[in-house]
Structure 1
C-alpha cells in the first residue's frame, strides 16, 4: 500500500478524534487531486466501517441507489436492501447499520465529495443535519469525516453553516498541495530520484499536487516528464485545466476569466482591476467568486506594504494553471519533444523567473527559517509604485525589513552593473516613498547562490538558496 507522505499536522488532527470521548464531525476540504481522500483512508483504514462518495452531476435517485449499494457491500450481503426513497430514509438505514458496531468500538464513516450529494432539491443537507443532531452527535464512539473538493461550498455550507450544522464541525482541515520538501519526499518514495533543481522544475509546472506527481516515471528527467504529461496526445495534463475548474465551480467560465486575467498580470491585480479585466460586475457575486478561488487554492492574496484591505492584491498561485495558460493552451506544436525544445526558449526563461517567485512566496516560512528570523513576528507583504516593484518583503517587529529579490538560474546568479543600479534604485524608491525608518536588508533568493563580485559585496546582506526551500 502506498505510504502517506508528509501531512503530519493533518494526521495528528485526525488521530486525535480516535482518542476523543465525544462524537467527532471532521471536515476536510481542498482543491481537486490534492489527496484528501487518500489522507482520510490512510489514517482511518482500521476504523472505517462505511464509505460513500457523491457523483458529480448525478440525480438524487442515482445517488440514493449508490448509497444503498455501498451499504450492501459493507454488510457483504447478496440480498440488497430496498433503495431509500429519501435521504432521511437513507440515514435511518445507516443508523441501523452503525448502532451495533458503535457499542463495541470506535467507528468512522466517510462521506467523500460531500458537495456533490447536495444537489438542489435533493434534501441531502437537511437530512444530514438531522442525522447528526438527533443521533450522531450523541454517539461517543462515532467519527464522521466529510470531504469535498469544492472548498468554497464546504466552507459556506458546512464549516460556516448558519442552520442545523452551525458550530457542529469539531475539526477542520484545509488540505494544501505539497511543499517542496514533501514533493521531494513523495517522489523519492516512488523511486523517482531527481535532484532539487530538477524537482524545482517539476514543481514549477505541476505544483505540489500528488495526483500529478504520481505520473512521473522513474528514470525521467523533469523536462521529459513535463513533455509527456503536458504535450503528448494522451498526456494527463493536456485537458486537465477545463475539467479542473468545471468540476469545482458552477458557471466556471467566470472563474476561468479571472484566472486568465491574473495569469496575464504576474504582479497581481486588485479587486477593481480584476473586475475590469475579467468583465465582471462589482458586488457580492464577484466577492464570492474571488473567495472561492482563494479557498480552493488557485489564487492567493497579498496586502501591499502600508496599505489596507481594500488594496489587497490577488495573484494566481496554482502552478499548473500558470503553466497551462502560458505553454499548453495555445501551443502551436505538440507531440513528443515539444517541451524539450521549448525549455530552451526565451519565453521559458521569462516564465521560469516568475514561477520561481511564486514558489518563494509559498515558502516564506522556510525563507524566514533560513534567515534566522522564524521567531520574530513578521508580516509578509508586497509593494509596488510607478517606479519600482517588490514581490516579497518581510516587515519585522525588530525594526528591520528584508527586501527579497528572487532569481532562478541554472548556475550561480551574477549581479551585473545594470542590475546593481536597478536594485539600488529600488531600495531608494522604497525608502523615500514609504518613509520607513527601519533598516533595510537586501536578501537574494536564488537557486545556486550569488557569485561574489563588487556588486554583491556592496548590496547583498543575506542569501537564501533553493536548498533552504526544501527544509
Structure 2
C-alpha cells in the first residue's frame, strides 16, 4: 500500500488496544477510504456492509440483510427496521463461529458509505447509537469502523454529535489526498514513466486522488491519457464532476452554484461577495454549504493578514473541479494534446501551479526548514496601494520572520528582470506600510524550474523549486 503510514498506525493501535474501538473515517469521494480499510484488514471482517446511493430505507435494509446472510445470519426475512437489523448483527457477532481478524483475534465491523444508509425518517442513526451504547461499547474485542464520502454528514452526525455519540468515538481519521511524493510512488508502481514535470501537471488536473491516478495507462503520454479520460466520448472522467456533487450533497445545485461562482476569482471571495453575485443561497443555508464544501476538501477558507478575526475568503482548490469548469463546462477545447504548448496552456499552468503549492504548504515549510517553528499561513490584499498589491501565500512565523511567497510556473528557469524586481519591492513595501509589522520580510520564490543564474536575486531571501514539493 502506497503511503498512509499515519493511518496504518492508527489502525494498528485499534488492533493492539484492550478496549472497544469506534473509528470514524471520512474524506473526499474517491480518496481511497474503502481501499485503505479493506487492504489493511485483508477483508477479514466479522461483518461488512455498505450504503447504496439513492436507495430508500427498504432497499438499504435489503442490502444489509444480504450482508448478514453472507456472514452467517440464518434469518431469511428482511429486517423491518434498523433496530432489528442491528439486533441481528449483535447476535451474529456473538456466535462462536464469527470471523475474526487473524493477527489480533478481534471482531472487525466495517460500515461503509454510512450517510447513504441514513435515509429520511429511517431512524438509522438512533439504531446505530443504541447498538453501540447498549452493546458494542462493552465488547473489548470489537472494532467498529464507520465510513462515508459525505464528510459533512460524518462530522455533524458522528464526530461532533452532541447526542448519543457524544464522546463515544475512540478514533477519527480524515483521509487526505495523496501528496506529490505519494503520487510519484503510485505512478511508478503502476508502471508509468513520467517526469516530475508531468507528475506535477497530472496533479494540476487530477489532484492527489488515487482513484483518478489509477486510470493513467503506461505506454501513453500524459496528454494522451488526459484526452482519453476527459475528451473521449466514453471518457471515464468526462462526467465525474456532475456525479461527484450529486452523490455527496442533497440539493447539489446549491453547492455547484457556489463552486461556479468561486471559480471566477482565482484568489477566492468573501461571504459578502458571494451573496452580492445573486447566484447563491443566503443566510444559514450558505453557511452550511460553505462548511460542507470546506470539510469535503473542494474549497479552503483562509483569512487576510489584516482581517484575521473576520471576513474569511473562500477559494476553490480542488484540481479536478477547476479543470472541469475551465475546459469541459465551457467546452473551450476538444483535445488536450492540441492545447498543450499554447499561450493559454501556460496561463492555465501558472494558475494551476499556485493551487498545487497551496495544497503542499507542509512540504514548503519543510523545504524552508521551519516545520518545527510555530507559524500561520495567510493571504493578503492591499487596501490602499496603487498599483494594487496581492500576496497569495505568506507564512507568519513565531521567530519574527514573514515569508512573502511568490509562486511562478515556468518550464525553463525563471528570470527576475528589473520590472519584476520593482514589483516585488513594491509588494513588500506596501505590506510593511499597511500592516505595520516589525517582523523581517523575506521574499520567497517558489518556481518549478528554479531561478535563472543571471537573474536579479538580491531581494530573494529563499528559493524553492518544484522538487521541494515532492518532500515526504
The 5 A counterparts of 1:198-347 are 198-277=198-277, 279-334=279-334, 338-347=335-344
162-171 vs 124-133, which deviates more?
162-171
Q: 1:346 deviation in Å?
A: 2.2
- Selected match of 1:364 from 361, 364, 378: 361
Q: 1:278 deviation in Å?
A: 5.5
Contact 1:258 1:278 in 2 (8 A): no
Q: Normalized against structure 1, the TM-score is what?
A: 0.95
Contact 1:25 1:170 in 2 (8 A): yes
- Selected match of 1:89 from 63, 78, 84: 84
Distance between the aligned counterparts of 1:311 and 1:131, measured in 2? Answer: 43
The 5 A counterparts of 1:43-192 are 43-45=40-42, 47-75=44-72, 81-101=76-96, 105-192=105-192
Contact 2:23 2:143 in 1 (8 A): yes
Distance between the aligned counterparts of 1:177 and 1:301, measured in 2? Answer: 18
Structure 2: tracts of 5 or more residues without a match:
none
The 5 A counterparts of 1:399-410 are 399-410=400-411
Q: 1:46 deviation in Å?
A: 5.8
- Residues 394 and 333 of structure 1, relative CA distance in 2, 3 Å threshold: closer
Structure 1: tracts of 5 or more residues without a match:
none
Distance between the aligned counterparts of 1:159 and 1:382, measured in 2? Answer: 30
Q: 1:61 deviation in Å?
A: 1.1
DSSP-derived class of the 1:395 partner = strand
- What per-residue deviation string (whole Å, max 9, x for no partner) do you get for residues 28-77 of structure 1? 011111101001111122641111000011111111111111121222x8
Contact 1:107 1:141 in 2 (8 A): yes
Q: 1:318 deviation in Å?
A: 0.3
Q: More helix per residue: 1 or 2?
A: 1
- Residues 219 and 25 of structure 1, relative CA distance in 2, 3 Å threshold: same
- What per-residue deviation string (whole Å, max 9, x for no partner) do you get for residues 355-388 of structure 1? 1111111111111111122221111111011510
Q: Which residue in the other structure is 1:36 paired with?
A: 33
- Residues 247 and 128 of structure 1, relative CA distance in 2, 3 Å threshold: same
Q: 1:434 deviation in Å?
A: 1.1
**1:445 is aligned to 2:440:** no
Q: 1:333 deviation in Å?
A: 4.4
Q: 1:277 deviation in Å?
A: 2.4
Q: Normalized against structure 2, the TM-score is what?
A: 0.95
Distance between the aligned counterparts of 1:454 and 1:405, measured in 2? Answer: 15
Q: 1:306 deviation in Å?
A: 2.9
The 5 A counterparts of 1:407-426 are 407-426=408-427
Distance between the aligned counterparts of 1:454 and 1:112, measured in 2? Answer: 54
- Selected match of 2:3 from 6, 26, 33: 6
Q: 1:115 deviation in Å?
A: 0.4
Q: Which residue in the other structure is 1:20 paired with?
A: 17
DSSP-derived class of the 2:300 partner = strand
- What per-residue deviation string (whole Å, max 9, x for no partner) do you get for residues 327-363 of structure 1? 11121543xxx10111222222122111111111111
DSSP-derived class of the 1:305 partner = coil
Distance between the aligned counterparts of 1:445 and 1:219, measured in 2? Answer: 32
**1:376 is aligned to 2:373:** yes
Distance between the aligned counterparts of 1:373 and 1:163, measured in 2? Answer: 41
DSSP-derived class of the 1:83 partner = coil
Aligned Cα root-mean-square deviation (Å): 1.6
Contact 2:99 2:107 in 1 (8 A): no
Distance between the aligned counterparts of 1:375 and 1:61, measured in 2? Answer: 53
Distance between the aligned counterparts of 2:202 and 2:246, measured in 1? Answer: 25
- Residues 307 and 44 of structure 1, relative CA distance in 2, 3 Å threshold: same
Distance between the aligned counterparts of 2:329 and 2:431, measured in 1? Answer: 37
Q: 1:264 deviation in Å?
A: 0.8
Distance between the aligned counterparts of 2:461 and 2:174, measured in 1? Answer: 36
- Residues 278 and 444 of structure 1, relative CA distance in 2, 3 Å threshold: farther
Aligned residues: 462
Distance between the aligned counterparts of 2:361 and 2:318, measured in 1? Answer: 16
Q: 1:454 deviation in Å?
A: 4.9
Q: 1:405 deviation in Å?
A: 0.5
- Residues 99 and 232 of structure 1, relative CA distance in 2, 3 Å threshold: same
Q: 1:166 deviation in Å?
A: 1.5
DSSP-derived class of the 2:456 partner = helix
- Selected match of 1:354 from 344, 351, 356: 351
Contact 2:46 2:99 in 1 (8 A): no
Contact 1:227 1:340 in 2 (8 A): yes
Distance between the aligned counterparts of 2:359 and 2:257, measured in 1? Answer: 23
Distance between the aligned counterparts of 1:164 and 1:123, measured in 2? Answer: 13
DSSP-derived class of the 1:450 partner = coil
